[in-house]
Amino acid sequence: MSNTPRSTTPRPRKHLMVPGQPPQQRPDSMSLSNVQRWVMSTLAVSTILHLAAGLVLAAMYVTTLDAQIGLLVIAGAFGVISVAVGLMIHRRSPLSPWLLLGTLPTVIGYFLVF
């Protein structure tokens, strides 16, 4: 047995919160505004793309050719709008090569309809 006195308070563990001290920030953590921006852009883009997908489905069930083409063009326009909205939420220029990604609903719809 050793004659050295033991301390009565246990050493705090680094993975636990210590009452009375602010939480430590991790160096790789995102700020709250960045997280909100990502959530908002994800919701906006996915909602608008669902609308574009609905227009492609409508084009599959319409029997006239001009209505099918019109619905596919509108679906592509909404796809481009969704990409532009996502870019603007992240404070980037909406005129970007990423806008070509927005034409995917029209391309996919063309292969499904014709």
Domain-embedded: residue 103: yes
pLDDT digits (tens, 9 = 90+) for 47-106: 999 999 999 999 999 999 999 999 999 999 999 999 999 999 999 999 999 999 999 999
Query: Cα separation of 101 and 104, whole Å?
Result: 6
Question: Is 0.95 topped by the overall pTM?
Answer: no
Give 61's contacts (C-beta < 8 A, 6+ positions apart): none
| 84 exposure class (CB count in 10 Å sphere: 0-12, 13-18, 19+) | buried
Domain-embedded: residue 5: no
Question: Locate tokens 């001009």: which residue?
Answer: 66
Query: Cα separation of 110 and 61, whole Å?
Result: 13
Domain-embedded: residue 73: yes
Instruction: Provide the residue range defining the domain that includes 65.
Output: 44-113
Instruction: Read off the pLDDT band of 17 (50, 70, 90).
Output: confident
Number of structural domains (the chain) is 1
Domain-embedded: residue 10: no
The predicted pLDDT at position 42 comes to 98
* Lookup: tokens for 84: 């532009």
Polymer length in residues for the chain: 114
Domain-embedded: residue 25: no
Domain-embedded: residue 21: no
Question: Locate tokens 């209505």: which residue?
Answer: 67
pLDDT digits (tens, 9 = 90+) for 90-105: 999 999 999 999 999 9
Instruction: Read off the pLDDT band of 3 (50, 70, 90).
Output: low
Domain-embedded: residue 97: yes
The predicted pLDDT at position 13 comes to 67
The predicted pLDDT at position 108 comes to 97
Domain-embedded: residue 24: no
